[in-house]
Amino acid sequence: MQLKRIFVSLLVAIMMLSMAVIAASAADTASTTFDVAVEVADSTANADGVVLVTPGDTLEIKVVIKNNPGAAFAQISFVYDAEVLTPVDADENGKADVTQGDTYTYTDNVKNNVVNGNNVLTVISENAGSDITTTGEAFTIKFVVAEDAEDVSLNFYAVAMKKNFSTVATNYSNTNNGLVEFKAAKHNYDYANPITEEADCLNDGRIYVKCTDEGCEEIEVLEVLPALGHDLVVIEATAPTCTETGLTAGEKCEVCGEITVAQEEVPATGHTPEFVAATAPTCTEAGLTAGMKCTVCGEFTVEQKEIAALGHTFGEYTSNDDATCTANATETAKCVRCDVTDTRTVAGTMKDHNVKDSEATEPTCTTPGFTSGGVCADCGAVVTAVDYIAPLGHTAGEVVVENKVDATCTDKGSYDNVVYCTVCKEEISRETVIVDKLAHTEKVVAGTAATCTAAGLTDGKICEVCETILVAQEIIPVAAHTEETIAAVAPTCTTAGSTEGKKCSVCGVVTVAPATVDPAAHTEETIAAVAPTCTTAGSTEGKKCSVCGVVTVAPKVVDPTGHTEEVIPAVEATKKADGLTEGKKCTTCGEITDAQGVIPMLPTSLAWLWVLIAAVVVIGALVVVYFVVLRKKK
């Protein structure tokens, strides 16, 4: 009996547990509201919440999930103007350059579709597990802003949050109402006149441009010039002296002069005196008394006094035996204290001349001769005088012709008559003779006949040798033109015509120019009008010339009428089929202007079935145990 009660209680507990699991499973499929927020990284928003961006920069859009009901992944879509925003590394069917958040990873499912002129980019983000309720940054996606961007908007919406491919939440709210607005923050920088601030030892420099708008102080730094750093040099130490202080070594910047290591004062050393011996005077130099001086700086602490020079004292003089026939002998004595000597002349010691006879010299045409005489062999002095014999003079020979130049019809000729001495061959005289010019050799230069465009020339004469003009040619006047008619040309509606003219049949020169005749009037016909449609432009009626095809009245463009939209109703998703979001189409041309999005079908949970099977298995086991125990007791 006790066992029956236990069995019944256990069965009731299992049934209650099954009902709870089924209820929990049903609750799991219930719609839960979660929140999606979009943030713009590293941006500045104004008071209206509009984000200021710089054209050409890259926007980083962060997607943040809040109130996560326990989802494996979330599907987020962005709607943007493809002419203004471009996803980084995204193409029609490619992948966008997304960046992993703190708690989420990503699938490869990044889709980019074009809907009604706008791009739709869908990103599916998943986290590491199926039951995680962590919230926070899901992913970051980057868009490049076009250089000509001004006002830009980015719409976003969440499609679903799922785990194990079953939807756990389809309702969502947007922190910023599903819209992020951007406004281009443009400055009119003066790029033609960059300003340079040079770097110094401690501070960076820069090259920048300023905004030219009145009252705007904004700048754009084009280049940073790194700080130069100190260029350190050593300040040499100054050693102290006996009487003056010194300095230790220091350090300073050679560029800016800043002292980085200051010098310190070193005291004066004071004198180190030593004895200086006296110096004895000599014959020519003074001497000095004893004194005291510093061994370091050389300054005398006890001054030396001068002793006058002694002068020379010469001893006995000795003859130098140097007498000649022109000078007396000398004698020399030496100073008794030094090596200086003194030499003096001894009067009456001169020698006699050493006379020798000279040979006689014969005279020439230009030089005299001399008779024999006496000359000193030692000094060359004339002791016995010689007689002078006058020069003989030249003997003229026959005249010789030199430097002959022949005369021509343009220049005179010449030659030199020269007389030479027959004895010494020296030139005695030279006379230049001039020869008159020769007569010209005439040659006839043929003339040319005159034409209707060029003058002619008469015959002339020149010298055949030097080409000098002897008879000048005279000009023959130009002849008259031979005229012929230039035919007239009839005008058309696009080209002008011309009247009859005249020209020379010989040289082709126009003597009577044809006059221009204006073009004829166009023959107009109508260009039919074209009616516009929803998407294509039309045109108004125009006119053109039926002869030449020129358009005289151009048709004007008529803008497209635009679509007349009607709503395509949404279809709710069920557990058996996907649903559709609301769309739009044109009632005139039937074009879909806003495509319907797919809403995934509702999941069917099988958790209650597994619990029921488990309960049946447990109940069956209990029944078997019950009957086995009862049979044993009986």
Q: Are 209 and 189 in contact (CB under 8 A)?
A: yes
Q: Are 609 and 616 in contact (CB under 8 A)?
A: no
Per residue in 375-415, pLDDT tens? 777 776 777 777 777 888 888 888 888 888 888 888 888 89
**Tokens found for residue 452:** 């209707």
- Quote the CA–CA distance of 534 and 558 in Å, as a whole number: 11
Closest CA to 239 of 251, 248, 230, 231: 248
- Name the 3-class secondary structure at 624: helix
Q: Are 100 and 106 in contact (CB under 8 A)?
A: yes
- Quote the CA–CA distance of 600 and 170 in Å, as a whole number: 9
**Tokens found for residue 560:** 């497209």
**Tokens found for residue 180:** 């992020």
pLDDT of residue 14: 45
Relative to beta strand 542-545, strand 497-498 is unpaired
Q: Which residues pair with 111 in a beta bridge?
A: 122
Greater confidence (575 vs 556) lies with: 556
- Quote the CA–CA distance of 252 and 247 in Å, as a whole number: 15
Under the banding of pLDDT at 50, 70 and 90, the label for residue 25 is: very low
Among the listed ranges 99-108, 239-248, 313-322, 329-338, which one has the minimum average pLDDT value? 99-108
pLDDT of residue 352: 80
- Quote the CA–CA distance of 296 and 300 in Å, as a whole number: 11
- Quote the CA–CA distance of 106 and 122 in Å, as a whole number: 12
DSSP secondary structure letters along 16-81: HHHHHHHHHHHHHTS---EEEEEEETT-EE-TTSPEEE-TT-EEEEEEEEES--S-SEEEEEEEE-
Under the banding of pLDDT at 50, 70 and 90, the label for residue 18 is: very low
Per residue in 493-545, pLDDT tens? 878 888 888 888 888 788 788 888 888 788 888 888 888 888 888 888 888 88
Q: Are 190 and 212 in contact (CB under 8 A)?
A: yes
- Whether the pLDDT of residue 550 is over 70: the answer is yes
Q: What is the mean pLDDT of the chain?
A: 77
**Tokens found for residue 264:** 């310190």
pLDDT of residue 6: 44
**Tokens found for residue 237:** 């130490």
CATH class of the domain defined by 30-186: mainly beta
- Whether the pLDDT of residue 358 is over 80: the answer is no
Closest CA to 25 of 558, 596, 606: 606
In three state form, how does the secondary structure of 595-608 look? CCCEECCCCCCCHH
Per residue in 447-466, pLDDT tens? 888 888 788 888 888 888 88
- Quote the CA–CA distance of 576 and 581 in Å, as a whole number: 17
| Averaged pLDDT for residues 351-376 | 78
pLDDT of residue 282: 87
Domain ranges of the chain: 2-24+606-633, 30-186, 195-225, 232-266, 273-307, 312-357+374-382, 397-435, 442-476
Residue 590's contacts (CB-CB under 8 Å, 6 or more residues apart) are none
Closest CA to 163 of 137, 135, 126, 138: 126
